[in-house]
Copies of this chain bind each other. A is one copy, B any other.
């Protein structure tokens, strides 16, 4: 689905590996556009000249340009050249103590939110999920994996788990879940509230820095070994009942978090 932009040989390399030149080059072109080097509608220099400037091969440049075209940043007019389609928007920056839907966060920054690869299956609850949702070990849970996109670029890889009983209660087939979530704009929170009557109110999140593995890097379209922000969250309803366990990996180039910290009681 979104793996097509990652070359196959990258997936076979041992971890951790160097950032691929193609992604680095795309970032360098993006940075030049952000810095105002080329404006919207302006034509990029000819391939040989730009490749020399960036110190890379023409093949690498061509791949990077293809990546930026698919991101909507560049535009190719056949027989004419490559043009700047738009200036990259600032990254998404949110308070970490605020529980928001990714779809909203993406849209509020002026990006077009979309759902990338999505899979839904019933699985035996992994131990951490059973413990966090207070389910018996190996209880059947619905496992949903989604990639959230901002203007076609992957921002978050979401892995969500909830008690499969919830689907049975509402006579929902596992094969229909993806479609129903899509009908709610890709928002799991909206679907849980509107279709399953479970409103998410708060979440307890553990904040962890992790390295992108081969698998997660491919899904987020980043280089394996880059640092990602992981939020592992147990979600509660207004009555304090456990509803949902999420394991989210954020592309830290695109999604930033901040927090206001307060001295509760000085202890010195």
Would B203 and A260 count as touching, CB distance under 8 A?
Answer: yes
> Smallest Cβ distance from A168 to chain B, in angstroms?
25
> Smallest Cβ distance from A146 to chain B, in angstroms?
15
Q: Tell me how many chains of this kind the complex includes.
A: 2
Would A97 and B257 count as touching, CB distance under 8 A?
Answer: no
Would B253 and A9 count as touching, CB distance under 8 A?
Answer: yes
Would A207 and B10 count as touching, CB distance under 8 A?
Answer: no
Bound-state Cα–Cα, A258 to B132, Å: 14
Would B263 and A99 count as touching, CB distance under 8 A?
Answer: yes
Bound-state Cα–Cα, A12 to B28, Å: 10
**Contacts A208-B252, A209-B209, A211-B211 given: A97-B268 contact, CB under 8 Å?**
no
Bound-state Cα–Cα, A214 to B184, Å: 46
Would A205 and B261 count as touching, CB distance under 8 A?
Answer: yes
**Contacts A9-B252, A205-B258, A258-B206 given: A101-B268 contact, CB under 8 Å?**
yes
Bound-state Cα–Cα, A233 to B100, Å: 23
Is A218 part of the binding interface, using a Cβ–Cβ cutoff of 8 Å? no
* Nearest residue, chain B, Cβ from A98: B264
Would A260 and B202 count as touching, CB distance under 8 A?
Answer: yes
**Contacts A16-B225, A208-B256, A268-B184 given: A98-B10 contact, CB under 8 Å?**
no
Bound-state Cα–Cα, A200 to B9, Å: 33
Bound-state Cα–Cα, A11 to B16, Å: 13
Would B9 and A206 count as touching, CB distance under 8 A?
Answer: no
Per-residue B-contact encoding for A1-33, CB less than 8 Å = 1, 0 else = 000000011111011111100011001000000
> Smallest Cβ distance from A240 to chain B, in angstroms?
12
Would B99 and A261 count as touching, CB distance under 8 A?
Answer: yes
Contact of A202 among B104, B223, B261 (CB under 8 A): B261
**Best-buried of A108, A187, A259 by chain B (most CB within 10 Å):** A259
Is A185 part of the binding interface, using a Cβ–Cβ cutoff of 8 Å? yes
Per-residue B-contact encoding for A237-268, CB less than 8 Å = 1, 0 else = 00000000000000011001111111110111
Is A125 part of the binding interface, using a Cβ–Cβ cutoff of 8 Å? no
* Nearest residue, chain B, Cβ from A14: B18
Is A210 part of the binding interface, using a Cβ–Cβ cutoff of 8 Å? yes
Interface residues of chain A, those whose CB is within 8 Å of chain B, are 8-12, 14-19, 23-24, 27, 96-101, 103-104, 108, 184-185, 187, 189-190, 193, 200-211, 222-223, 225-230, 233, 252-253, 256-264, 266-268
Across the A-B interface, give the 3 residue pairs with the lowest CB-CB distance, nearest first.
Answer: A209-B209, A209-B227, A99-B261
